[in-house]
Amino acid sequence: MLGLVAQKPIHVHLRAEPAASGEGLPHSAGASGWGIGWYDGSRPAVFKYPTPDQQAKDSEPPAHTCHSRVLIAHVREENAAPRPENSHPFHYRNWMFAHCGTVNREALAGLLEQAHHTSLMGGTDSEVLFHWILQNIKKTRDIVDSIRDALRSISSESMQFVLSNGRWIFAYRTGQPLYAAEWNPGKSGRPWSAWGSPIRLESMDLAEVRAVFVGSETVGGMNWEPIPAGRLVAVSPRLDRYEIDLEQEADFVR
């Protein structure tokens, strides 16, 4: 799982990769689908590919190029039917979301209002978690407090997610690690890439553009810093990075 905010829109190219050694995005053992999400103006757009089996049938490896300031990429483990609607990232209105971990889908779905329940497209717990967080945001309009309130109703020993409204990116983790990194090409003019079966991401534009990344794996040759468990990282459109202890009060992100 990977998310980024760049200082201006950049082109990012995604293509399927055969199984090989290298940096993972993330570790792909048992992968049953992958996807990439970005913003076309203020509206989310996604490109999803459901299964490695389908990739094996295609004469040409799938590829896609997007142009956006905000991007989320995800490789899904094999824990639900391999259909596009079960692959991440999910989107609803101006929001986009990717998740690793497990929550109680049935219990959480029972808390959803009808508008969110009827908007569910697949059978994953991740999509239900996404709508539960959005339902809380709709009630208070304060994103940090809303995420805090949503997580109080969830019992999960291991969870990571990346959430975006098209301007900010929010990343949270408990249990399994999650990382953050700043990309500053300086005078080197280095393009950026991250790879590993089943996908590879590349951006020539990042040879000249600053960005902030969050991810479940330390890819792309950057100096990654671990996000402490129970902390929410918020990255602004200006690439300011805030780390918030959700046990403490905070209401500066709206």
Q: What is the CATH number of the domain that holds 90?
A: 3.60.20.10
- Bond from prior residue into 89 cis (ω within 30 degrees of 0): yes
Q: How far apart (Å, rounded) are the C-alpha atoms in residues 6 and 247?
A: 29
Answer yes or no: is 77 within a domain: yes
**Which residues in the chain land under pLDDT 70?**
17-32, 50-61, 76-82, 187-188, 195-198, 248-254
pTM to 2 decimals? 0.87
Q: What is the pLDDT of residue 247?
A: 73
Answer yes or no: is 222 within a domain: yes
Residue 238 is classified by DSSP as: T
Q: What is the pLDDT of residue 76?
A: 67
For tokens 């991007």, what's the residue?
71
Give me 237's structure tokens: 């459109």
Answer yes or no: is 115 within a domain: yes
Answer yes or no: is 140 within a domain: yes
Q: What is the pLDDT of residue 27?
A: 44
Answer yes or no: is 253 within a domain: no
Q: How far apart (Å, rounded) are the C-alpha atoms in residues 97 and 90?
A: 5
Give the count of domains, the chain: 1
**Residue pair 80/126 in contact by the 8 Å Cβ criterion:** no
Answer yes or no: is 250 within a domain: no
Answer yes or no: is 251 within a domain: no
Domain extent, residue 188, equals 2-245
Q: What is the pLDDT of residue 236?
A: 97
